[in-house]
């Protein structure tokens, strides 16, 4: 992959695809406020590097899923403001994606200055399935700049105008974030030190079936918690009460378990679970054995024996990938499983990677020491697709 070092950027206009898809809430005064600026911070090293080399930086990014063109609620204005604070430099926001305002803002940039284009998904061509339609927008974006840097790891699994098509029209390189994510996942996928343990959780098995299938060819141990463990427990013949269950996946999961056994991969399942009478922090709850969930109760976290078992099962690992919370960590009574597993992973002596948007959010919410992990991925969907063994179009295009 080409890097920024391979590009001549001094005095040139550099279009940088970033991931600014940040969570927002209403500030109460008609404006919107960013509740987690992690994704903005993640691109700062690339922006600072480009500025230090005298580049004129034009950022392009999306926010949410605007349906019918420009939507003030999904403007990148709060991002431009936050970016300006973090860089301690003004960040001009174009009022359109590739029109008159974008051209003016781009033309006015001086060496070392930074501008941001308005939400690229305000232009429906960005996500068109038709390559020719996307190509028109890509050509307009390319006309604003001299070179392209891809640094939105959260979107590299998308075939979109500002991700792949524009890279085909300009000299291009991976930014520092995309480079570090690609390196870490490359190591995990192609050359993991063993034991290699993957911890999976989250809500649905069906979201992660492809990942499990692919991982069975490489991991030594697979730990399953979260909402998806109940489909595994059901596949063992246990009753799961009112827990999250994907009945149509039970046979597939049985097949996965047989495959794992044939390959010598151990699948580690919960021994006990925290069950509650309702999906609520205030509901009555208790710990039961994993094979003793009664009707009317739903499993919302792994239990204490399982916390210890999972902690033990990662302790000797040299590579750990964790994707998906162990329970409904957003509610305090069901956060302990996720906390225990996350903490255990921080004590592992080896490469430790957190993938998945909610898992990364859990680390922050629960106050786990982020420096205890080798890497917390900024791309949930992209990291899952890499773990599925897929070629991501936004990375492949940078290799040409
Ligand atoms: P990630 O974004 O890390 O890949 P997912 O999106 O797959 O994770 O799943 C995250 C969600 O899974 C969280 O909102 C969490 O509350 C939910 N979850 C975890 N365990 C359970 C459970 N036992 N029942 C229902 N939902 C669960
Ligand atoms: Mg998620």
Residue in 103, 187, 204, 254 annotated catalytic:
204
How many helices and strands, by DSSP H and E, does the chain display?
Answer: 14, 17
State the first-to-last Cα distance of the chain, in angstroms, to the nearest integer. Answer: 8
**pLDDT single digits (tens) 165-205:** 999 999 999 999 999 999 999 999 999 999 999 999 999 89
Active-site residue, 82 included: no
Q: In angstroms, rounded to a whole number, what is the distance separating the alpha carbons of residues 311 and 295?
A: 29
Q: Which residue blocks in 2-113 are alpha helix, DSSP H? A: 38-42, 44-52, 77-87, 100-108
The pLDDT confidence band at residue 397, using thresholds 50, 70 and 90, is: very high
Hey, how many other C-beta atoms are within 10 angstroms of the C-beta on 97?
Answer: 25
Q: Write out the two tokens for 23.
A: 């969570």
In DSSP terms, which residues pair with 91 in a beta bridge? 114
For 167, the 3-state DSSP assignment is: helix
Distance from Cα 244 to the centre of ligand 2, integer Å = 16
The pLDDT confidence band at residue 86, using thresholds 50, 70 and 90, is: very high
Query: Using a 6 Å CB cutoff, which residues line ligand 1?
Result: 201-203, 207, 226-227, 244, 299-300, 323-325, 327-328, 330, 356-359, 380
Q: In angstroms, rounded to a whole number, what is the distance separating the alpha carbons of residues 5 and 219?
A: 35
Distance of CA 153 to the CA centre of its chain: 8
Please report, rounded to a whole number, the percentage of residues in the chain having pLDDT higher than 70: 100
What global pTM score does this model have?
Answer: 0.91
Active-site residue, 183 included: no
Distance from Cα 4 to the centre of ligand 2, integer Å = 31
Q: Write out the two tokens for 144.
A: 């604003």
Task: State residue 53's pLDDT score.
Answer: 98
Task: Give the DSSP letter of residue 184.
Answer: H
Q: In angstroms, rounded to a whole number, what is the distance separating the alpha carbons of residues 231 and 249?
A: 7
**pLDDT single digits (tens) 259-316:** 999 999 999 999 999 999 999 999 999 999 999 999 999 999 999 999 999 999 999 9
Distance from Cα 328 to the centre of ligand 2, integer Å = 12
Active-site residue, 357 included: yes
């Amino acid at each position: 992959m080409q890097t920024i070092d391979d590009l001549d950027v001094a005095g040139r206009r550099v279009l940088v695809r970033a991931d600014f898809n940040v969570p927002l809430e209403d500030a109460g005064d008609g404006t919107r406020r960013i509740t987690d600026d992690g994704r903005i911070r993640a691109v700062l090293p690339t922006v600072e590097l480009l500025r230090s080399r005298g580049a004129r930086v034009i950022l392009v990014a999306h926010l949410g899923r605007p349906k019918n063109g420009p939507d003030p609620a999904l403007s990148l204005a709060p991002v431009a403001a936050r970016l300006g604070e973090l860089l301690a430099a003004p960040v001009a926001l174009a009022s359109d994606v590739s029109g008159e305002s974008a051209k003016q803002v781009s033309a006015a940039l001086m060496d070392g200055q930074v501008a941001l284009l308005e939400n690229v998904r305000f232009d429906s061509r960005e996500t068109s399935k038709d390559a020719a339609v996307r190509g028109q927008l890509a050509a307009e974006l390319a006309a604003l700049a001299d070179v392209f840097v891809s640094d939105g790891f959260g979107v590299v699994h998308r075939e979109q105008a500002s991700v792949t098509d524009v890279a085909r029209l300009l000299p291009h390189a991976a930014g520092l974030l995309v480079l570090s994510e690609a390196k870490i996942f490359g190591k995990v996928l192609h050359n993991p030190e063993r034991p290699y343990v993957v911890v999976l959780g989250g809500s649905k098995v069906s979201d992660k079936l492809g990942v499990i299938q692919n991982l069975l060819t490489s991991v030594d141990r697979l730990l399953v918690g979260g909402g998806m463990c109940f489909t595994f427990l059901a596949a063992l013949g246990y009753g799961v009460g009112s827990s999250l269950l994907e009945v149509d996946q039970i046979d597939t999961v049985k097949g996965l378990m047989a495959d794992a056994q044939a390959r010598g991969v151990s699948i580690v399942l919960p021994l006990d679970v925290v069950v509650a009478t309702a999906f609520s922090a205030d509901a009555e709850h208790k710990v039961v054995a994993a094979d003793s969930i009664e009707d009317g109760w739903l499993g919302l976290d792994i239990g204490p024996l399982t916390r210890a078992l999972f902690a033990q099962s990662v302790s000797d690992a040299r590579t750990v990938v964790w994707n998906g919370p162990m329970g409904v960590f957003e509610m305090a009574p069901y956060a302990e499983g996720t906390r225990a597993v996350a903490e255990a992973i921080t004590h592992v002596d080896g490469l430790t990677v957190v993938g998945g948007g909610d898992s990364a959010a859990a680390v922050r919410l629960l106050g786990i020491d982020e420096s205890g992990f080798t890497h917390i991925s900024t791309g949930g969907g992209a990291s899952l697709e890499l773990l599925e063994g897929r070629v991501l179009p936004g990375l492949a295009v940078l290799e040409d």
